[in-house]
Amino acid sequence: MKTTSVHKLALGWPIVVLIVLALSCWGCGPKQNQPSSPAASERSPVSESIPTTNPEPATTEPPTESAQTPGDETIPAADTPPDNPEAPAEHTDKVLNVFENTFEKEVLQARHPVIVEFGATYCMPCYIVRPVLDELAKEYAGRLKFVSADIEVNPRLASKFGVTYIPMLVVIENGEETQRFGFANEQQLHQVVAEIAASAD
């Protein structure tokens, strides 16, 4: 009886070993490509190739432009004296704006009689007389010269000529004042200018 039990135990031992080996090797086959973590599976391949740097904020300022384009010329404003006055304009059909640094060339050295209108931007009668002077400048172009001087921009000229009212018109011939008068009306101004032109011919 004992011999039969030992014989059966000896026959079952290899089977037990095989079962243990089979269980220990379970899952030893080749591993499938599985994501290591949900975060890794959701990561975009594009995001891995881009460095994570903070981009610079975009500026909202427009591109700066050059103050002066090629070919442009700087023209002084009517109330700004030019830095380098040029030669006097003898034959002109318009009223010229003169300044303290251009008065000598444009007025005192002129070859024709010059009618200087002293005025100011706040003077309403000056706005009335100016279109009349523009018409006279065209009518007597080449015979008489008409210029305008703002007393606020040219205080020394106003002081030199003793301007006490505006508009004041001063006639300059050969660098000397010959007469002065105020503006009453358009007809009076045409008559006085006609007399000046007649005496200068």
Point out the residues that are catalytic: 123, 126
Are 100 and 157 a contacting pair, CB within 8 Å?
A: yes
Q: Give CA–CA dist 56/46, Å, rounded.
A: 21
* CA-closest candidate to residue 97, choices 30, 153, 169, 160: 153
Q: Give CA–CA dist 164/118, Å, rounded.
A: 10
Count of CB atoms within 10 A of residue 166's CB? 20
Q: Give CA–CA dist 169/71, Å, rounded.
A: 39
Q: Give CA–CA dist 112/129, Å, rounded.
A: 21
Encode 40-67 in three state secondary structure: HHHCCHHHHHCCCCCCCCCCCCCCCCCC
- Facing residues of 168 across strands? 118, 182
